[in-house]
């Protein structure tokens, strides 16, 4: 079983602060996704990254995929209470795999 | 579009009982899967299907059966429930198999408690 390590596990910040969460593996991802989950709901896709070194922006969220495709980060600028939720990274290991492996998630609380 | 629909949303079972969690999608997706989510464990893949008539095991398949007789439906069966199967179960589907970087669409989850 491939492992994805996410850090930090919990994060509580004030509105307006910046933050970064990380997703790491000892194996190479063929692709990596970030999801956001709110209480009582299923995860919702934020972004998919495929190419090493790739950077994608989604409003105040910036996603980076490491050059070696073993790590990724999610940076949120000027966090808002609406950003509160569980952030999950999920990766495909190997181009022929049918399995999407999830990390344990980072639980973010943004305090007004 | 209803998307991915799971029933029931809540269920309480006694140890040894059997039940089926239903999952239906109306997006004509090829790929369907079942995950369980436990505190501190993240989402773990139970079973998945890449098309009607084709199923395979994920990371934690023991105690669960699946079938895929139609494109739309992917039920998850618990044959003899155990307290260790207390969890929140999510069904998810994708237009194509996930290795093609397809987006997974999740249902709202089914919360199962086994006493």
Q: What pLDDT was estimated at residue A97? A: 74
Radius of gyration for chain B, computed over Cα atoms and rounded to the nearest angstrom: 13
Give the mean model confidence (pLDDT) for residues A96-112.
90
Give the mean model confidence (pLDDT) for residues A21-33.
91
Percent share of chain B, pLDDT over 90: 86
The structure tokens 């069966």 sit at B77
Q: Do B106 and A42 touch (CB under 8 A)?
A: yes
Percent share of chain B, pLDDT over 70: 95
pLDDT band for position B101 (50/70/90)? low
pLDDT at B98 over 60: no
pLDDT band for position B79 (50/70/90)? very high
pLDDT at A65 over 70: yes
Q: Do A48 and B58 touch (CB under 8 A)?
A: no
Instruction: Identify the residue among B37, B41, B44, B55 best suited for mutation to test binding to A, counting A beta carbons within 10 A and taking the highest.
Output: B37
pLDDT at B92 over 90: yes
Instruction: Identify the residue among A88, A92, A100 best suited for mutation to test binding to B, counting B beta carbons within 10 A and taking the highest.
Output: A100
Phi, psi of B70 (to 5 degrees): -130, 165
Shortest Cα distance, chain A CAs vs residue B99, angstroms:
6
What is chain A's mean pLDDT, rounded?
92
Q: What pLDDT was estimated at residue B103? A: 85
Give the mean model confidence (pLDDT) for residues B5-32.
96
pLDDT at B5 over 60: yes
Residues of B in contact with A95 (CB under 8 A): 99
pLDDT band for position A93 (50/70/90)? confident
Among residues A109, A72, A66, the alpha carbon closest in space to that of A90 is found at A72
Give the mean model confidence (pLDDT) for residues A41-53.
93
Regarding predicted confidence, which is higher, B103 or A63?
A63
What is chain B's mean pLDDT, rounded?
93
Token pair for A50: 């495929």
pLDDT at A94 over 60: yes
Rounded to whole angstroms, the Cα distance separating B18 from B38 reads 20
pLDDT at A1 over 60: no
Rounded to whole angstroms, the Cα distance separating B77 from A13 reads 41
């Amino acid at each position: 079983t491939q492992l994805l390590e996410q850090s930090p596990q919990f994060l509580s910040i004030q509105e307006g602060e910046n933050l970064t969460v990380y997703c790491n593996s000892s194996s190479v991802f063929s692709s990596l996704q970030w999801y956001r989950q709110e209480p009582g709901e299923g995860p919702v896709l934020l972004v998919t990254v495929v190419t090493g070194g790739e950077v994608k922006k989604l409003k105040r969220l910036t996603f980076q995929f490491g050059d070696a495709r073993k790590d990724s980060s999610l940076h949120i600028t000027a966090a808002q209470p609406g950003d509160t939720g569980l952030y999950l990274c999920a990766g495909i290991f190997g181009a022929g795999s049918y399995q999407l492996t999830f990390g344990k998630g980072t639980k973010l609380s943004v305090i007004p | 579009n209803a998307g991915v629909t799971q029933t029931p949303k809540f269920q309480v079972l006694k140890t040894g009982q059997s039940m089926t969690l239903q999952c239906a999608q109306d997006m004509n997706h090829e790929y369907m899967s079942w995950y369980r989510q436990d505190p501190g464990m993240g989402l773990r893949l139970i079973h998945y299907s890449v098309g009607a008539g084709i199923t395979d095991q994920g990371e934690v398949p023991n105690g669960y059966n699946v079938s895929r007789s139609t494109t739309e439906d992917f039920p998850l069966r618990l044959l003899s429930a155990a307290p260790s199967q207390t969890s929140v179960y999510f069904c998810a589907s994708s237009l194509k198999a996930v290795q093609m970087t397809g987006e997974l669409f999740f249902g709202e989850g089914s919360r199962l408690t086994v006493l």
